[in-house]
Structure 1
């Protein structure tokens, strides 16, 4: 009789142990999945921030060049030597010198043959989650394999700000209506307090890579 009770208790303890281990495994799997989802969510937010700030810098470089060339015959583009030049009064083109949201530091500067800054890129070599459906100003980012390949520059391969500035808006570095020459003073939009133009809203982030 006593032996049967002991065997029954041992069986119960063994079953409880199995249930406990199974529960621990489930909790571990759930925690791992939650951590991965959290990491993906954070990366998506950082990539949206990277695109937003990168486009703002790209626009600022375009407006800077158009402003410096206004009323003058200047071959090619005119670029600043530092990003800080884009923020200086009396006509700042950039609100502030942003850092690299993904690389967590300074941008890597893309220099023109003349030595000026024609663009910026993240120092991150990580693979982006965002692969398609980019804003018009950086539509050429489609299918790029790393953040490092996202180069925000003027002139840019997408060759358009249409969709950001709006239909009929003047685009720095491009011909205006009736064949107006690039670089004309009228091409730079009038911005409140001389600040760079507000950025158009970014599209909804793709729900799947």
Structure 2
């Protein structure tokens, strides 16, 4: 029986890297294509079975790469911060527009499943710009007709080492062992999670 094929966007990020490595280890998947801005550091992705297929693309012409979405499962880990992006408009371009285009391309190529990273507290009516954009994206994708199977993961603070420095996130990670045990019941969704946990959840949300 042929294995599944996967497409990953955002493979160099904290969750993306964990996700790709989990997919490479899973027997269910025989091909993992990654669309990236620059060549991957292959030492970060042990691939004894040669499943990994990195492809450098120009995200300013994202629509031109529709053919790569002809896979079973699409995983979208694209995301940035306003500080990194440089402006709210640039942030929205990555966290809303690129992810929304990815969902449209997955639909056009009839991918069986599309899973992306949102955020705990995502709400299109939020006064917080970050959460508002995440909420608007959820609404846009979940209302998209003929997208076979779409699902979002909503992580809280992500635990793990990033290549880039995120000051507030760094403080949160240091304090996490102190406050995490206090987050119970309705507050449990705010518990910090590891990139590996989020990646596992993304895989589990894809259809069989």
Common fold by TM > 0.5: no
Per the normalisation by structure 1, the TM-score is: 0.27
Larger Rg: 1
Instruction: Using structure 2 for the length normalisation, give the TM-score.
Output: 0.27
